[in-house]
Homo-oligomer: A and B are copies of this chain.
Amino acid sequence: MDEHLLIQKYFSNIGSAYLAEHNVEVTVGDDASVITSQNKTQLINSLDTSIEGVHFLDSMSPEDIAYRACAVALSDLAACGAVPKWYSLALTLPKINENWLKDFSHGLNKFSDEYRVPLVGGDTTKGPLSITIQVMGETDSGKAILRSNAKKDQLIFVSGMIGNAYLGLNELKDISSSNINILSYLNPKARIELGQELLDIASSAIDISDGLLQDLSLICKASDVGAEIFLDKIPTSVTEKSLELINSGDDYELCFTTDKDKYDKVMNISTMLNIPITSIGKITSSKEVVLYDNNKTRIKFKSGYKHF
């Protein structure tokens, strides 16, 4: 099978129901994709690579590998409050395996249907398995939520339950275990709806893909502030809140900051979307992230996931 047949067979029709609503005119199969741009919008672009053994396990199904690679990329748009528009895929494969490709394209279809985004193009190459997903979204002009606007005394919130993906990954590695959290790792959800609700509310936001403490420190760095947070307040689905649990990453929840007087609005959003949102501390002027235990004793911690 040559590259063009492969693309036509497995990638030419993914999410095509959503091409028109995102003004995509030329999709998979030409030199490039062509999309009509809208006036007075901001384009929000992100690129994410998933590598076997680093970002997914070879024991995962191709469907889960595809879905996870896409959701993980989309999570960056959620953190900006963007509406997802379309995505493209650079897929590197050691060899052509039609069963694998068929299952992989099921994962893409599942992702496309869930977030209503079409696959508009990409590249296939031969080499060690690697998946790079480019996602494009948009917000109204000037509305994108950045990392750089957190201010002293603002509240710090997180969505969801922290550490579920860590628990899920451990379950995945130990086939004899229960599978309570496994989907949190295999099929993470990008918090797209939450991001959009936060557009006029959050002063800064990030997705906590590399661990809550590390990613919060990126907000602090970009905003030139610090943070104090409380271990006991961090929402987890198990009783023992270990540092490993809360800071191993892969959760793809949002960490964001707001003025204190927005607390009720945030709780209303939590109720409306049925997503747990928890206040875990506040922004300080200290320029470091400080974690406290119950007795307000400082807990030392290492940073989160290291890419190298």
Question: Are B45 and A88 interface neighbours, CB within 8 A?
Answer: yes
A1→B303 CA distance, assembly (Å): 13
Instruction: Look across to chain B and name the residue whose beta carbon is closest to the beta carbon of A48.
Output: B123
Q: Report, as a range, how many residues of chain A touch the other chain.
A: 35 or more
Instruction: Look across to chain B and name the residue whose beta carbon is closest to the beta carbon of A50.
Output: B125
* Set of chain B residues within 8 Å of A31, measured between Cβ atoms: 46, 76-77, 79-80, 146-147, 205-207
Cβ-closest 3 pairs across A and B: A32-B46, A37-B37, A39-B39
Instruction: Look across to chain B and name the residue whose beta carbon is closest to the beta carbon of A148.
Output: B30
A1→B306 CA distance, assembly (Å): 10
Question: Are A123 and B47 interface neighbours, CB within 8 A?
Answer: yes
Question: Are B29 and A45 interface neighbours, CB within 8 A?
Answer: no
Question: Are B44 and A33 interface neighbours, CB within 8 A?
Answer: yes
Complex interface residues of chain A between 15 and 62 (CB less than 8 A to chain B):
25-26, 29-55
14 contacts between A and B (CB under 8 A): A2-B303, A4-B221, A30-B80, A30-B148, A31-B76, A31-B79, A32-B44, A32-B45, A32-B137, A35-B42, A37-B43, A124-B308, A126-B307, A130-B130
Most buried by B among A25, A37, A144: A37
A53→B125 CA distance, assembly (Å): 12
A92, CB-defined interface residue at 8 Å: yes
A122, CB-defined interface residue at 8 Å: yes
Question: Are B307 and A46 interface neighbours, CB within 8 A?
Answer: no
* Set of chain B residues within 8 Å of A267, measured between Cβ atoms: none
A95, CB-defined interface residue at 8 Å: yes
Question: Are A147 and B30 interface neighbours, CB within 8 A?
Answer: yes
**A307 and B90 in contact (CB under 8 A), knowing A33-B46, A34-B42?**
no
